[in-house]
Copies of this chain bind each other. A is one copy, B any other.
């Protein structure tokens, strides 16, 4: 065994998991999302800044508003998914930093007094957390369907505010019939990794 992670977990998170384009009707509970969050919140971000914010789109009315901002090819599946989450970066994460990074509370002012620096850090670190979130959804035995095909300005205006930048929309549920495209090729180790 080269990896310490057991094979069943490797399969659940990576080998047998696929981006889903269709889902069963089985609901996704608040408890499931809370368990996912309580796991993935532990994974690291720079200065523990934790800028990921999640909007769970549960009501029919909100779902309809979201679907209208999705790209044509993403509408039907976003309308039908048991749960849809908008992942966003909080550009004002520094307000929480003295609590989140107590051993250097000055970080808020030393590194993040400028909005441009915050936007850059929030986008990078919330995207890192989006990676944890996608694997966390799989850890709950669910499939994720992450999408960037939507009107970002429209979603921001409709569901967020000037301080929160949308990153992606994720359909969540148990995969339904014909949920998966065949897996496309990946770059080999030698194509992606070099040694110096």
Contact = CB atoms under 8 A, between A and B. Distances in A.
Interface of A: 2-6, 8-10, 12-15, 17, 19, 30-44, 46, 48, 50, 52-59, 62, 96, 99-103, 123-124, 127-132, 134-135, 138-141, 144, 146, 148, 159, 167, 181, 183-187, 189, 191-196
30 contacts: A3-B32, A3-B36, A4-B139, A4-B141, A5-B141, A6-B9, A9-B9, A10-B39, A10-B139, A13-B43, A14-B39, A14-B42, A14-B43, A15-B42, A33-B193, A34-B189, A34-B193, A41-B186, A41-B187, A44-B134, A46-B148, A54-B192, A54-B193, A54-B194, A55-B195, A58-B196, A96-B187, A101-B184, A127-B131, A132-B135
Nearest to A39: B14
A187 B42 contact: no
Number of this chain's copies in the assembly equals 2
Nearest to A125: B127
Contacts of A103: 181, 184
Contacts of A101: 184
B2 A140 contact: yes
Contact of A3 (B39, B124, B146, B159): B39
Nearest to A43: B14
A101 to B, nearest CB: 6
